[in-house]
């Protein structure tokens, strides 16, 4: 599972092994798949993804908001 950022042009990914241990981050360079990769790309039309500064982490964090219907 991950996200593709059109504005920034990079891919985030989250992977887990058979025991449920997870690793994730930015996909850089080659990504070698040893068995099967299931890729589903969808568009969320009723929400928007924005970055807002989080004083707790000190970084602009991803926030998912309902898209305004102006």
Q: Write out pLDDT tens, residues 5-62.
A: 666 667 778 888 889 898 888 777 777 878 877 777 777 789 888 889 999 999 998 8
Query: What 3-state DSSP class applies to 65?
Result: strand
Q: Where are the alpha helices (DSSP H) in the chain?
A: none
Residue 70 pLDDT > 60: no
Going by their DSSP bridges, the two strands 59-66 and 47-54 should be labelled as antiparallel
Euclidean distance between CA atoms 2 and 18, whole angstroms: 18
Q: Give residue 8's pLDDT.
A: 60
Q: Give residue 2's pLDDT.
A: 62
Euclidean distance between CA atoms 64 and 13, whole angstroms: 17
Q: Give residue 5's pLDDT.
A: 62
Phi, psi of 59 (to 5 degrees): -125, 155
Can you name the residues that pair with 13 across neighbouring β-strands? Answer: 2, 25
Q: Give residue 21's pLDDT.
A: 92
- pTM for the structure as a whole: 0.47
């Amino acid at each position: 599972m991950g996200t593709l950022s059109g504005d920034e042009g990079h891919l985030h990914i989250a992977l887990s092994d058979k025991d449920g241990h997870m690793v994730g981050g930015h996909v850089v360079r080659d990504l070698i798949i040893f068995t099967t990769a299931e890729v589903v790309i969808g568009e969320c039309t009723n929400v928007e993804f924005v970055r807002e500064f989080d004083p707790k982490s000190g970084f602009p964090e991803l926030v998912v908001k309902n898209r305004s219907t102006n």
